[in-house]
A and B are shown apart, each in its own frame.
Chain A
Amino acid sequence: MQVHGEAWTLKELFVYPNEQIYWSVQIVLYPYLTGLVAGAFVLSSLYHVFGREELKPVAKFSLIFSFVLLMVAPMTLLFHLQHPERGFYIFFTPHFTSAIAAFGIVFFVYTMIVASEIWFSYRKFIVESALESALALGKAENLAGRLKGLIYRIMTIGSYDISEKALETDEKMTKILAGIGIPVACFLHGYAGFIFGSVKANALWMTPLMPIIFIMSAIVSGIALCIFTYILIMEIRLVRARKTAPPYIQKIERETDLNAIRTMAKYLVFFMIIAVTLELLDMVFHSYTAKKPWEIISTVIFDRFAFNIFGLQYGLGMLVPFILLLIPRLSIGRAFLASTLVLIGVFMMRWNVVIGGQSFSLTHAGYMNYVLPVIPHDIETFKEGLFGMILLLGSPFLLLWVYSKIFPLFPKE
């Protein structure tokens, strides 16, 4: 009989019998996805609250993407829980001395804020589409069209007022909600950092800097994901437009707004500097104070995880994109490459924190290695293996496609 974690934990030297890599790849994905949620939201707020007009083309898209990611983020927890069917106990019998117990409140508050912000910012479109479908109701229409009309009519919640004054109120509400949303988004993710940073038993996690480190890398990854996906969607549209274009049209330009990408890249670099500074500060602090566990932590950082941390996380994931973004005249291709690398880098950061933090034993005399299950042989190795990871990393893109059928991601004014 195997207990949870035994399937992918390789023990070395002296390790207590109960120690396993209990938090595996899904717990790597959880802070990664909530980080993307917070980052995408902050990006959209840069336009909605701080009025950066250059970001207007991606503001609505990043808001929707934030919502989509928010739907997927708790899935990682359900995949990880040994009793997912009891997961809702967290909402009904929360034990508030636990950092995880706040999850229900933070999650629902944030969902409400993002959902209502989306509603206010799309209200004109929703009402127009609802009216259109109501007019077309008498005509023969296919089922999908009718269903869509029904969705729009439900979404109006009976409010069809799109007078000048009402629209002004909408805009004001969007701004207020985006303003409230920033601290809540930061809280949503900062508290994910708090879950790790407050574990006294783990010397690598235990630091009050953890929530702030998480927030900064969250914003970095969120902006990078929006650049990545924005470019990707525009390329797909270009290919599609070229395929369907009538032969007499000679050239079709891509609609990608380079100015928006350059602005996003600027913010990305700004937040990258803060993120790296904080992460390195944390490491320097650990090594300088060199408390008792530092002996084993240093072997984890500088030996066992050296390639992960300095090669992938800082080298490939921070330094290379940093240089790529700072070279003048940023092109679309270069922005795409840089944002991809940043996404990998932040993923590796989560990996190194979650897996790295569990890779040394409480005995300080042994190690545990995590072997990601690739080919699943039971439900557990599927959920917490490569396929579960790919499933949850891919589903935001699938969901975004579904949402884009209802909300246009890049509406033309």
Chain B
Amino acid sequence: MNQISNLYQKNEKFILGSNNEWLTNLRNKILEKIDDLGPPSKKNEIWKYSNLSHINDTRYEPSNEILKENETLNEENEIDYINGKYHITEKNKKNLNINFKDLGESLIDLKNFFYNENETQLNDFVIDINTIFLSDGLYISTKENKENYLIINYKNNLDYITNYLRNIIKINKNSKLTLVENFNYEKSENNDLNIYNNFILEKDSELEHIIIQNLNLTSRLLYSSHAICETNSKFNQLSCQLGSISAKNRHLSNLIGINSQANHNGIYFGKNKQYIDNKTKVTHKSENCQSNQIYKGILNEESCGVYLSNTLVESQAQKTNGYQLSRGLLLSDKSKLYNKPQLKIYADDVKCSHGSTIGALDNNQLYYLQSRGLSEKDSQKLLIKAFCKDVLKNINDKESLKKIELQIDKWLNKKNDKQYS
């Protein structure tokens, strides 16, 4: 029996949905699979450059603390997960346009999301352990024909805890949601977070999803998202990764309805010995769909980045327009970035392209800026910010952009005493 099975058996009664028969059966099947296949190996493409110590050191140490009622003072469109437990306030409940339900209480309606129907339950180790150790989650849905804004804050004030969270978010017909997820563990250390979000974009709906991850450098993150985009829907995502000693992000979209669109944008910043691993994949399953996967990384000191992008165009997905771009900026000799763009095209009338570059700051650009009176450090900062610009311009939410720019400034200014050469 492997370590994960041991952990599960020891803690089974505390895990969300442990009294649910089909979920227990599913968990047992997954555990058998892990027993058969063993833990992830670098022989598998998606783990090739991964820091497996994080994956192979799976922990289950949830918080037992119960939050006092008055600890969250959020407005109706803002909710918190604190120490791995969601908190819905009276104000949240009064939000008429967004409905929040406990994931555990909604399991009976959500079976499809756990099994492989619509491919929401992916064959992936990270998602498998999320399903096994699920500690909390929400089923969120928007009201049809409405425009909404939702902020989810992930906070911890306890050390050495693990959170396995899952949110299933449904954007109903002709509605629009801007979802901002803030990850900030300022007050705690050595925490592990495994989060899996499912998005269902119904016909004519729109989701702008912004992730601002600024966890401390003792915390580890495994983040997976999967979006299903129906006819005429638009999914626009920005993943901004600044923190965490080891972050593995995987964002996938299935374009199942005609004229649907998925944009995966990302910027990531590495320093010290940070490891930042990103993967995006868009599967075109219908005609006239569009996708963009644009990631940029800025890596300093001994940090390491990985970005795998993938566009899969199925045979029926004619008139597909797919674009991938990965650019990396290495600020030190010891920083590393592995890029791998992939295109798999089975339709014959498509327009797909990809680009990938890795390099240092351009000395001629630095010289030009300095010759106008900007110091070397200020010139470097200006060029790094300019490098991020064409990713950030793809996001409409001005408030989030301001916040991200502020975080980038903080990241750049922390490096004041060290040159980026």
Do A and B pair up? The answer is: no
